[in-house]
Structure 1
Amino acid sequence: PTTIVLVVIYSVSFVVGMVGNIMALKVLTRKRSNRLAGVSATRSLLINLAICDMMVICICMPVNLGHQVYKAWVFGDFLCRTVPFVQAVSVSASVLSLAVISLNRYYSVHNPLNARSFFTCKKLFCMICVVWALSSGLCMPLIFMNKTKTLVLFNGKLVIMVCIERWPHVKQKQAYNFLLFCALYGFPVLFNLIICFLTGRKLWSTDDKFKECNKCNSALTGSRLKVRKKIAKMVVALVLLFTLSWLPLYVVDIWVDFNMPNVLNDEDELNHVQHGWILQVRPFAQWLGLTNSALNPLCYCFVGNLYRSAKRFRNSYRKRISSVFALSLSQTPSSPSVPRLLSYTASKDMSDLD
């Protein structure tokens, strides 16, 4: 029953995440003109976040589901080293990207004029490169410490292959996993929550001084302030979703590291019957963490109002298809005006989306 439940929930998360992130990337990467620098920066960072989510969905979800079905590791030594590394890097890049997004929103609200010059395309590219480099550097030990091991059980009657972290000393593994918890969860989440609180307090402040400042500052018009409130809500939703999704897995892994430090390193460790419940809970905790990548597009859509852009994109696509069909009926195949008219129609529809 546990395996059946895991197959069902993993499959649902995979389909929802794949469709949602593909649509999010399709809408976010559309060319837009005359847009604010702050909004443009947020869209670029959301694209990076969606790429992280696609890595989790396409690589980590299928392998983790297969591991839960087969119980033993059947994917070889290469994936044993690669999949934990990719999962850790993508999660790290996600939370660090959220930190950059929160910082961008903070600057856009507290210092909107300087935010345009600070979050330029070149600087954003450098920030994204730093995020990926830092994430890869922090998670690099997983490539070398994750290895396959053959377990011979029941006096040679059963031989299975497992994928485990094999550190020289248990204390090193405990210290490294605690470092990852602090660097990739504790400190970034705390930073994001503080920044989101300061940004929200500034946006929803009803202080008269703040209102006078808005009147004097042309960068904070009524419509622009409304857009910034929507984006701030979306960022808060993303941060809270990440916090709640990955907390159970981090708690379970830290508990296992300190209470079952040698699990699966020796055959006698398989007899931890009194701690068996935690090993049954961990697959669901890992599914919840991976599902965060499937739920992020829902935040773009329902909290960030990205569904309006998607609806316009869909309507434009239908309009373009109907125009092509109408022109194909009214024009002869040899008419030279058809390609030019189709090109004009498509470019006009895309410009209307902005």
Structure 2
Amino acid sequence: MMESEINVTSAPSTTHARFTCYGTTLVEMRGSFKIFHNSTISYESNFSQLTDKEVASICLYMIVFCMAMVGNILVVVTLALNPRMRTVTNCFLLSLAVSDLLLAVCCMPVSLVGQILKRFIFGEILCKAIPYFMAASVSVSTFTLLALSLERYSSICHPLKSRVWQTRKHAIKVICGIWISSFILVSPTLVFSNLSNIPIVKIGRCSPACRMTFPNRITNQAW
């Protein structure tokens, strides 16, 4: 078995933790360690706690999450309960609010937990599902804004011609097409998102991380 060794020195610490994991990926190495391909990695490092910057980041995550949830839920409820507001433009706004809710639910809690625990704790299935829904919601938001811009442009620049096709029925068809195409477009995240263990010195242990891994550089560049 081939063996590669990398040595990096770090400042001495009074409190140490020893962690072991499998693999060859190294992240933020600041101590003496060895890598054995397809074998165990052992490393000693010091425990770290949340810094002031990380605490502030967590507080901002919570504030943005609450604002996103409350604001978008109010939009959805208002447009759903008030028939007078079910216009073509508001149909696109409803789609945008739903996609933003999906992004808030899938992204912010996961990022917050990862910020606190310094690891991905949701398992292999959610490692594939969460990035998939995150990417899909971003795609839906982007295409919805594009469709809304085109709709507004047609209404302003070509008001007479646009009246023929600017109906709620047509808007619903466009929105359905946006959602379906978005979920198809980001489907590679289901294939390439994987859970892997990586040693991270800052937290003093081997941590599972969810990341996209591609079979080769061409696939990575194409994505």
Q: Tell me by how many angstroms 1:126 deviates.
A: 1.4
Match of 2:165 in 1: 118
Deviations 1:1-28 (A, max 9, x none): 2320121000010111111111122222
SS in 2 for 1:149: strand
Q: Tell me by how many angstroms 1:117 deviates.
A: 2.1
Which of 76, 82, 90 is the matching residue for 1:25?
76
Residue 63 (structure 2) pairs with residue 12 (structure 1): yes
SS in 1 for 2:81: coil
Distance 1:4 1:76 in 2: 25
Residue type at the aligned position of 2:59: V
Residue type at the aligned position of 1:95: T
1:1-354 superposed matches below 5 A: 1-33=52-84, 40-151=87-198, 158-176=205-223
Change (3 A) 1:170 1:31: same
Identity among equivalent pairs (%): 30
State how many pairs are aligned.
170
Match of 1:304 in 2: none
Distance 1:129 1:89 in 2: 13
Deviations 1:151-190 (A, max 9, x none): 3679xx94321111111013321221xxxxxxxxxxxxxx
SS in 1 for 2:65: helix
Deviations 1:180-211 (A, max 9, x none): xxxxxxxxxxxxxxxxxxxxxxxxxxxxxxxx
Deviations 1:277-330 (A, max 9, x none): xxxxxxxxxxxxxxxxxxxxxxxxxxxxxxxxxxxxxxxxxxxxxxxxxxxxxx
Q: TM-score, normalised by structure 2?
A: 0.70
Deviations 1:218-258 (A, max 9, x none): xxxxxxxxxxxxxxxxxxxxxxxxxxxxxxxxxxxxxxxxx
- Which ranges of structure 1 fall in alignment gaps of 5 or more residues? 177-354
Q: Name the structure where helix makes up a greater proportion of residues.
A: 1
Q: TM-score, normalised by structure 1?
A: 0.45
Q: Tell me by how many angstroms 1:31 deviates.
A: 2.9
Distance 2:212 2:71 in 1: 33
Match of 1:180 in 2: none
Q: Name the structure where strand makes up a greater proportion of residues.
A: 2
Residue type at the aligned position of 1:63: V
- Which ranges of structure 2 fall in alignment gaps of 5 or more residues? 1-51
Residue type at the aligned position of 1:6: S
